[in-house]
Amino acid sequence: MLEELILAGGTMVVGAMATDSWIAARGGVARLFRRRGEDQQTAIEAQLDSHAALVARADDAERVRQSLLPVWLLELESLLGQHPDAVDELRELISELRKRLPETQRAWVQNNIAKDGGQVFAVQGGNVIVHQAPPGPGGGNGDAK
């Protein structure tokens, strides 16, 4: 559950960069990182500004957002690891940003490819539960006996 929250938070942060929602996103993230002290909050604010400027200057803003997403996932994971009390505040920020972001920044695209007998089990915003029996007699190979 925490991984989903971190993914949603990171996605919202990079999704808000270079949009009308950026000021609210930047302020909310800065408040979250205040827990690490004033110096760390200042460093995060500078990182946020730098990343938002990269997105704003980019010819392909979505590509830049996707490149920045792992950075913000790590930052949020580290913050929540040190300060589990920030979970509720992050949830509130995600909810607030979800309402403010343009539709194009709220949508996620997922491409899945299975080749050569492979299988893909994918989901967005939910769970995948797979119960697969081993092949063979009584197994899940689909043969009727």
What is the DSSP code (8-state) at residue 107? Answer: -
Cα-Cα-Cα-Cα dihedral sign, residues 37, 92, 83, 108 = negative
* pLDDT (tens digit per residue) in 22-54: 999 999 999 999 999 999 999 999 999 999 999
Q: Give yes or no for a contact between 119 and 55, defined as CB atoms under 8 angstroms apart.
A: no
**All residues at 6 or more sequence positions from 98 whose CB lies less than 8 Å from its CB, including other chains:** 12, 106
The pLDDT value recorded for residue 46 is 97
* pLDDT (tens digit per residue) in 79-110: 999 999 999 999 999 999 888 876 655 555 55
The pLDDT value recorded for residue 75 is 96
